[in-house]
């Protein structure tokens, strides 16, 4: 997952509205969102190489999502799969705070990550580059491959567009529109994460299109009282649509 934009307890009718893009290599085998056979309360896509996931929810209203922390000088091939951090929370009964604290203690086993976990009452953020996990305050937030709310161009633009979307009766279409944005950020506003200007530019839009790599899915999640909507749109190389899966819980 390389972009998360979410409204947390910012609007009374919808405690959580989230839009997310997963950027990944197209050769990595993936299963689309569905309820898991061994854990039928979990709804998520599946990384078929390592068994984890990047974003998921449960029938009880739990949610978890992860992004990588971009640092080309700090990648260990023997690190554990970051996707297991999302899967383990969804399958567990731990509260968000307790789980985030446990992840923070074990963070050295993984390459850089940003993890969001929610148990229906609290939303917590644990990151490999943060000194401690913390509860997320109500408001509009966004996260890419830096830290939470770090003002990268796609983060700032997504927060602003999500705030506008939340003024609509049903923000789904507007959230998918912000996730579909392929416009490059100006070079002078790009972060410097060590990958060079050309790649920073190519990775700057919310929707990424590169040779062999790019946005493979866009997901919309809305929790309103006891109801939950989960919509996943899948994409192939060059960003061509492959289909949509829609769930109402």
| Alpha-carbon gap, residue 155 to 101, rounded angstroms | 25
| Cα distances (Å, whole numbers) of residue 203 to 86, 94, 196, 197, 206 | 24, 35, 11, 10, 8
Q: What is the pLDDT of residue 82?
A: 98
90-117 pLDDT per residue, tens? 999 999 999 999 999 999 999 999 999 9
Q: Which CATH architecture has domain 3-248?
A: 4-Layer Sandwich (3.60)
Average pLDDT, the chain: 97
* pTM beyond 0.85, yes or no: yes
> Rg (Cα) of the chain, in Å, rounded?
17
211-246 pLDDT per residue, tens? 999 999 999 999 988 899 999 999 999 999 999 999
pLDDT higher at 14 or 77? 77
Residue 215 sits at φ, ψ, to 5 deg, of -75, 115
2-56 pLDDT per residue, tens? 999 999 999 877 899 999 999 999 999 999 999 999 999 999 999 999 999 999 9
Rounded to 5, what percent of the chain is helix, strand, coil? 20, 40, 40
pLDDT interval class at 137 (50, 70, 90): very high
The token pair at 40 is 């039928």
- Bridge partners for 113 per DSSP: 68
Domain ranges of the chain: 3-248
- Which of 112, 115, 120, 128 has its CA nearest to residue 86? 115
């Amino acid at each position: 997952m390389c972009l998360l934009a979410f409204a947390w307890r910012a609007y009374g009718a919808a405690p959580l509205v989230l839009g997310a893009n997963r950027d990944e290599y197209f050769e990595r085998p993936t299963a689309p969102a569905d309820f898991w056979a061994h854990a039928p309360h979990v709804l998520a896509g599946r990384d078929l190489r390592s068994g984890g996931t990047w974003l998921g929810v449960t029938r009880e209203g739990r949610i978890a999502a992860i992004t990588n922390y971009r640092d080309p000088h700090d990648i260990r091939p023997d690190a554990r799969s970051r996707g297991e951090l999302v899967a383990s929370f969804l399958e567990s009964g731990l509260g968000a705070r307790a789980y985030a604290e446990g992840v923070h203690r074990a963070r050295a086993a993984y390459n850089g990550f940003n993890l969001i976990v929610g148990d229906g009452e609290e939303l917590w953020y644990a990151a490999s580059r943060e000194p401690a996990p913390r509860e997320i305050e109500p408001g509009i937030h966004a996260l890419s491959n830096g830290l939470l709310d770090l003002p990268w161009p796609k983060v700032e633009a997504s927060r602003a567009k999500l705030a506008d979307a939340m003024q609509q009766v049903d923000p789904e279409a507007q959230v998918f529109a912000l996730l579909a944005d392929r416009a490059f950020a100006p070079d002078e506003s790009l972060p410097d994460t060590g990958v060079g200007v050309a790649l920073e530019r190519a990775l700057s839009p919310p929707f990424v299109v590169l040779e062999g790599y790019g946005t493979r899915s866009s997901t919309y999640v809305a929790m309103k009282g006891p109801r939950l909507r989960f919509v996943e749109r899948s994409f192939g190389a060059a960003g061509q649509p492959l289909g949509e899966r829609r769930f109402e819980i």
